[in-house]
Structures are given as C-alpha cells and as structure tokens.
Chain A
Amino acid sequence: MLHIIQQILFIIVLGFASFIFYKKIMSIRRNINLGKEETFGGAAGLRWKNVLLLALGQKKMFKRMTPAILHFFVYAGFLIINVEMLEIMLDGILGTHRLFAPYISSIYPILVGFFELLAFTVLVSCVIFLIRRNVLKIKRLTTGELSGGWPKTDANLILITEVVLMSLLLIMNACDYNLQQMGSEHYMQTGPFWISQYIAPLFSGLSETSLIAIERSAWWIHIVGILAFLNYLPYSKHLHIVLAFPNAYYAALEPAGKMHNMTDIQQEVLYMMEPEKAPTEVPADAAPARFGAKDVMDLSWKSLMDAYACTECGRCTTNCPANITGKKLSPRKIMMDTRDRLEEVGKNVDANKTFVEDGKALLHDYITTEELRACTSCNACVEACPVSINPLNIILELRRNLYMEEGDVPQEWMQMSTNIENNMAPWKMSPDDRDAWVHN
C-alpha cells in the first residue's frame, strides 16, 4: 500500500515539476521572440561543429586551466549522472528499487561506482568553487555587478544545491549498502560502491528501520531536489547549461569585425543619391523606423537569447580593456541588464497581453551612456565568452540609438562626423592635401 502511495506521489511530483518547467521555458521562449527577427545563414555543418567544440567540448573554457578542470568535473558529472537519473525516475514511477541491477548485475556496481566517483568530484569541485567565491574572493567573481545581491546569492545557491544533491546520492547508497549487509528485504545484493562504502560505517550502528527511513528520505529529497533545481534554472544564471547549445549553434560564422548592416538607412542614402530609384509611393502602413536599439525589443532575438545564456562568469569583463583601466563599462553587466529588463518587459506583456509603455528602457534606465562610450569595439568580450555571447552587438545597437535618435553625442564625435562629411577624413584636413605625402 505504502508503495502505491509513493508511486502515485512520485508521478504527481514529476508531472507537476515537468509542467511548471515547460510553462516557464515557453515564457522565456516568448520573451526571446520579443526581439527583432534575424536570420542566420551559413553552413549547418560549421554550426554543428561549433556546438560540438564550443558547447559540448567547452573549448574556450580551457583558456584558464584551473576553473576549466573544475568546471569539467561538474559538467561531466552532470551529464553522466543523468544516466543514473533515468533509473531513479523509473524506480519512482514503477515502485521498483535499482531496476537495472538484475539485468546488468556484472557491471552494475562498477557503473554506480563510477557515478559515485563523478558525484564525489562534482562535490569537491563545488566546494572549491564556493571557496573561490567566498573565501579567496577571486576578483572576477566578487566585484562589480557580482559584489552582492541576487547575483551573488544565485551563484552560491547553485553551488550549495549541487553539494547537497551529491551528498544525498552518496548517503542514499551508503545506507543501501548497510541494508544489503543486514539482508533487508527489498535491498538486493549489489556489493559495495566505490565511494559510499567509506561513508557506510557512519550509519552502521543504526537499526534497519532508521536506515530505511534515512535511505528513503535521501532518495526523496534527492529527486525532489533535482526537480526543484530544474525549475530554479530558468530564474537563474545556471540556465547556461541549456542555452549554451543553441547559442553555440547560432554563433557568428562571419568575421567578428563585421557590423550588422542597417538596410533602411542604406536604402535612404541610395534614394538620396539616386532619386530616380526611390519608390514614388511610400506605403501608408510603413512603421516608423527605430534606429538602433533603445529597448530590448529593438535587439536581435539572438542578443536576447545571449542574455539568458549568460552565467555571469565575467571572462568578458576581465578581458575588457575599458574595464581593466577602470572605466564603468562591464560587458557582463550589459548582459545582466539586458536579461533583467527583458524579464521586466516579459512580466509587462504577461499582465497586459501586449507591451504597455512603462516609461523605462534598457538605454539609460539600465545601461548608461558612460558605459557605452567606453567601448573600443575590440571584440575581447566576444572572444572570451565560452558560450558564444556577443555583448558588443548590444553596445553598438544602443550607440546607434544614442547617436541617431537622441543626438546624444560627445562634442568630439560631432566634430569628427563634421570633418568626415566636409573633409572626407575624421580630422580637419583639406581633401586636396590627401596625397600631399607623395610630394613632401
């Protein structure tokens, strides 16, 4: 009877968690699609290669060895332990215990032992990550936009959750081994596992009932914890474990120096230069053009996916020449601001069916002109990002809006533009002297 209740309870919990997760993912998808359409051509083969190298292979992580190795342990653990999650899920649904064990009895202890080893390396890596953040206070992880508040809490919550989940897995197996040795009904003989056998003595004095209680509790807290963590993902920077993959697929294949062309303005200039090419009738329903981006809806959907894919590691910021020399610009903050504003806009759309003007925008209310003006367009942030995020696109689109809609331009840039317009060079030089170097 108790079994049936547990099974039904499990199916309800699993179904509920999956449903909530699905709903949230759909809402994030909707938010990303609030961005402007941008089509991505290019060879699918190259795109899949990027998925393999950058996302699956974590190529760019290996520019910094220590975090790369620790991160690899957590990542490999996460991927491979999911195989065991399959058994745990099926056990929960079918009311079985170690469903796969009888079918693969010869390798089962090795398999679980291997999972335990991974769980252990995940645990140790996460503890080291916690130390790096909270004790060693590594600059990249503790300064600027990460110095406090939600981003700091988010990072620690993720790490603590992983430590707890991995501990539960090991405790569960340790109790299981003790129960096996007692010959407890329902706990089949699999033999000791690689890591949990060393924890088992901690529980050896306990009664069968207590051991079953601990084992069952650990099993339940572990699986409910995982389902809760799954639903925490979309609210957290940890969503990168999902979005790193599509982000790598849609990573730019063209040279990084190429800026997005504004075809509206290209046409306008063409009609100005060759008026005979201009259409005689302007369509009445032509939407008023927005130059560059003022708010998140003006950005490409890829930039919005970038914002959700960011895990706030700060490699962009530590490589940014402006940030290194003490300017306000931090590419990581650009991404975090974009996500925060997009979430706000998403809630607005949820409440009003369509976006209702709220008197705010990404430009100014989140990202200031001082930050934008510090950018040298050097692409260091783009190059540094392990999950193919491009903060530079956002910066340049916002700058376009500042210049062309607000006319908010530093005096020197005004002068530069005037010079280019009048003298065909950014300096106040006579075009007649352009070839003067030949003669002097």
Chain B
Amino acid sequence: MTVKTMAEYMAEGTEPEVLFWVGCAGSFDQRAQRITKAFVQILNKVGIQFAILGKEEMCTGDPARRSGNEFLFQMMAYNNIQLLNGYGIKKIVTACPHCFNTIKNEYPALGGEYEVIHHATFLQQLINEGKIVVKDGGAFKGKKITYHDSCYLGRANNIYEAPRAVLEAMDVELVEMKRCKSNGLCCGAGGAQMFKEDEPGDTRINFDRSKEAVATGAHIIAANCPFCTTMLMDGVKNAEKEDSVQVLDIAEMIAQSLEA
C-alpha cells in the first residue's frame, strides 16, 4: 500500500491530484479503517496520485457543531482551513459524508474553498471514465443487495444516484427498502448521536433500520458512511443475522471486484 502525506509531497516539491481526507472514523475506528484501506487500494490500482494529511488531519468539527459547541467547531475549522490553505489544496475526496458536508458546505464561509467530492461520486466518475474495470461482473454479480442512503450524502446533499450507479457497475441485484432515497431512514448516528446513548424510547434507530434492511432478503447492506456501517452492523447483530447479512461500504465492494 502506497500512501504519501502532503508533507512528503511538499518536501518533494510535487503536488498530488487529490487530497484524501480520511476522517476520524476512517483513521481510528477498526471497522472504518478497512474502508479506508479499500479506498486506498482502489486509488493505487487506478494510479491516482493522492495524499493524506496524516497526523496533521483533525476532526472537521461536525459532531461538535451539531451537539451545540460552536466554539470548538470554529477552532477545528480554523486549524483545518489554515492547514489546507497552507498546502494550497484544491481538490478533496473523502469516504465520510459528514466530513464531506462540513468541508464542502460549511468551510467556504470560513475561508476554506475547495472542490470536495464524496467517494461515491468519485468512484462513479472512475467507472464512467473506464478507469475502474470490474472483473467478470465482479465478486457481487447477481447478489441481492440493499443500499442504505446516509442522511448526509442523501437529504443533506441530494446525492442518491452516484452510489447506486457504483452498485449497478457491479451487476448486483439491487432491492430497495421502502424507505429509500429522500425518504431514507437515518441510521441513528448523525447529529453527534454516535457519541452518546440514545434518549429513552422503544427501540434504537439502528435496530429499526437494520430490521428493515434485513427484511429485504438481501445478504449485503451497502453503505457509504463509516458511522452508518457501524450502526447497521450493530443492528444486524441485534437481529441475529450477522452470519448471513454483511454490511459493506461501496468502496470495499469495488475493491473486492477489481481486476487482479
């Protein structure tokens, strides 16, 4: 695996095509690290010159802002924007829809203007350009798969088709849940809920959502967000389906379907 940091590019006096914003989940969460590695594998395979910020990357401030702590958000944003502008970053790709939303929609007002792209759209572009070629239909050909729209890619940013196009490229049998696209049900993690216990209620949101996904009869729940992935995996476990139903990020699916 070849991964270079921005600092290394800088030292060499060269520039990457794109900055891969890994995000906190992608960096630290063991499950999400697998998504990060899968995405890197794709970038390497396609031959894209990319950089990460490495140890210099910081939380975008999304959960701080949504929990109500604007001070902390502004501090994180300030530091990140200083760093990104210092490196002269123009294009950013990320596998986290929360980072995507914050950098794309909220940083410009604070002086951070970049072309920001979520990995679902990025993968779709690579497929359209013929740079990603799925081997013999790929590892998921004909498999029954359902897709969970993350709120921050879907309703927050109106991206519904790109991830579906990526799945289509793998020739899967896509079965939609009743609540999909703009009517999709949240996994329960957004708005900093990931970092605290649920408020009192009848059930957890991820249990409800996973039940719906499992009921489609799909063996794979495809996702585009590290937080959704964790939430849905917990939900599948709760439904005692962890032996028959997998939760996979679309990048992991593509990585498994690439020509050797």
Set of chain B residues within 8 Å of A421, measured between Cβ atoms: 72, 75
B181-216 interface bits toward A, Cβ cutoff 8 Å, 1 = contact, 0 = none: 011011011111111111111111101110000000
Set of chain B residues within 8 Å of A382, measured between Cβ atoms: 155
Q: Are B155 and A325 in contact (CB under 8 A)?
A: no
9 contacts across the A-B interface (CB closer than 8 A)? A255-B156, A256-B157, A377-B151, A420-B64, A425-B58, A426-B63, A434-B57, A435-B22, A437-B26
A417 at the interface (CB under 8 A from B): yes
Q: Are A437 and B59 in contact (CB under 8 A)?
A: no
Set of chain A residues within 8 Å of B50, measured between Cβ atoms: none
Q: Are B24 and A427 in contact (CB under 8 A)?
A: yes
Docked pose: A63 CA to B179 CA in angstroms: 12
Tell whether A378 pairs with B24 under 8 Å between CB atoms, given A254-B105, A291-B70: no
B1 at the interface (CB under 8 A from A): yes
Set B70, B101, B106: member contacting A400, Cβ < 8 A:
B70
Set A262, A431, A432: member contacting B70, Cβ < 8 A:
A262
Smallest CB separation, A329 vs chain B (Å): 8
Docked pose: A266 CA to B199 CA in angstroms: 31
Q: Are A426 and B24 in contact (CB under 8 A)?
A: yes
Set B68, B156, B183: member contacting A404, Cβ < 8 A:
B68
A433 at the interface (CB under 8 A from B): yes
Set of chain A residues within 8 Å of B180, measured between Cβ atoms: none
Smallest CB separation, B230 vs chain A (Å): 12
Closest residue to B194 on the A side, CB-wise? A426
Docked pose: A324 CA to B157 CA in angstroms: 23
Tell whether A435 pairs with B52 under 8 Å between CB atoms, given A322-B199, A416-B192, A421-B72: yes
Docked pose: A409 CA to B104 CA in angstroms: 28
B121 at the interface (CB under 8 A from A): no
Q: Are A321 and B188 in contact (CB under 8 A)?
A: yes
Docked pose: A117 CA to B190 CA in angstroms: 49
Q: Are A327 and B106 in contact (CB under 8 A)?
A: no
Q: Are A255 and B101 in contact (CB under 8 A)?
A: yes
Set of chain A residues within 8 Å of B156, measured between Cβ atoms: 255-257, 379
A383 at the interface (CB under 8 A from B): yes
Set B55, B59, B75, B201: member contacting A426, Cβ < 8 A:
B59
Q: Are A377 and B190 in contact (CB under 8 A)?
A: yes
B25-59 interface bits toward A, Cβ cutoff 8 Å, 1 = contact, 0 = none: 01111000100110000000000000010110111
Smallest CB separation, A386 vs chain B (Å): 13
B174 at the interface (CB under 8 A from A): no
B67 at the interface (CB under 8 A from A): yes
User: Which secondary structure dominates where chain A touches chain B?
Assistant: helix
Smallest CB separation, A75 vs chain B (Å): 23
Q: Are B67 and A424 in contact (CB under 8 A)?
A: no
A372-389 interface bits toward B, Cβ cutoff 8 Å, 1 = contact, 0 = none: 011111111011000000
Kindly name the residue among A258, A268, A321, A328 whose own CB sees the greatest number of chain B CB atoms within 10 A. A321
Q: Are A378 and B155 in contact (CB under 8 A)?
A: yes
Docked pose: A292 CA to B69 CA in angstroms: 10
Smallest CB separation, B188 vs chain A (Å): 6
Given A63-B183, A370-B199, A417-B67, output 15 extra A-B contacts at Cβ < 8 Å: A255-B101, A257-B155, A258-B105, A269-B74, A269-B78, A321-B205, A322-B205, A325-B204, A376-B186, A376-B188, A403-B69, A421-B75, A425-B24, A433-B27, A434-B27
Q: Are A438 and B59 in contact (CB under 8 A)?
A: no
Tell whether A257 pairs with B157 under 8 Å between CB atoms, given A375-B191, A438-B1: yes
Closest residue to B159 on the A side, CB-wise? A255
Docked pose: A413 CA to B64 CA in angstroms: 8
A231 at the interface (CB under 8 A from B): no
B71 at the interface (CB under 8 A from A): yes
Set of chain A residues within 8 Å of B74, measured between Cβ atoms: 262, 265-266, 268-269
Smallest CB separation, B91 vs chain A (Å): 18
B76 at the interface (CB under 8 A from A): yes
Q: Are B72 and A413 in contact (CB under 8 A)?
A: no
Tell whether A327 pairs with B183 under 8 Å between CB atoms, given A380-B155, A404-B68: no
Docked pose: A325 CA to B210 CA in angstroms: 13
Q: Are A321 and B208 in contact (CB under 8 A)?
A: yes
Set A370, A378, A435: member contacting B54, Cβ < 8 A:
A435
Set A326, A424, A435: member contacting B201, Cβ < 8 A:
A326
Closest 8 pairs between A and B when the two form their complex, measured CB to CB: A257-B156, A403-B68, A326-B202, A377-B191, A326-B201, A378-B186, A424-B58, A412-B196
Q: In the complex, how many residues of chain A place their beta carbon closer than 8 angstroms to a beta carbon of chain B?
A: 66
B238 at the interface (CB under 8 A from A): no
B85 at the interface (CB under 8 A from A): no
Smallest CB separation, B161 vs chain A (Å): 16
Q: Are B185 and A255 in contact (CB under 8 A)?
A: no
Q: Are B196 and A261 in contact (CB under 8 A)?
A: no
Q: Are A327 and B151 in contact (CB under 8 A)?
A: no
Smallest CB separation, B72 vs chain A (Å): 6
Q: Are A410 and B196 in contact (CB under 8 A)?
A: yes
Set of chain A residues within 8 Å of B157, measured between Cβ atoms: 255-257
Docked pose: A403 CA to B22 CA in angstroms: 28
Set of chain B residues within 8 Å of A322, measured between Cβ atoms: 199, 201, 205
Q: Are B155 and A437 in contact (CB under 8 A)?
A: no
Q: Are A420 and B199 in contact (CB under 8 A)?
A: no
Tell whether A413 pairs with B67 under 8 Å between CB atoms, given A255-B158, A269-B78, A425-B59: yes
Q: Are B61 and A420 in contact (CB under 8 A)?
A: yes
Docked pose: A429 CA to B157 CA in angstroms: 30
Docked pose: A29 CA to B126 CA in angstroms: 52
B147 at the interface (CB under 8 A from A): no
Q: Are A427 and B28 in contact (CB under 8 A)?
A: yes
Q: Are B68 and A409 in contact (CB under 8 A)?
A: yes
B141 at the interface (CB under 8 A from A): no
A196 at the interface (CB under 8 A from B): no
Docked pose: A321 CA to B192 CA in angstroms: 14
A401 at the interface (CB under 8 A from B): yes
B139 at the interface (CB under 8 A from A): no
Q: Are B151 and A325 in contact (CB under 8 A)?
A: no
A402 at the interface (CB under 8 A from B): yes
B260 at the interface (CB under 8 A from A): no
Set of chain A residues within 8 Å of B186, measured between Cβ atoms: 321, 376, 378, 380
A273 at the interface (CB under 8 A from B): yes
B241 at the interface (CB under 8 A from A): no
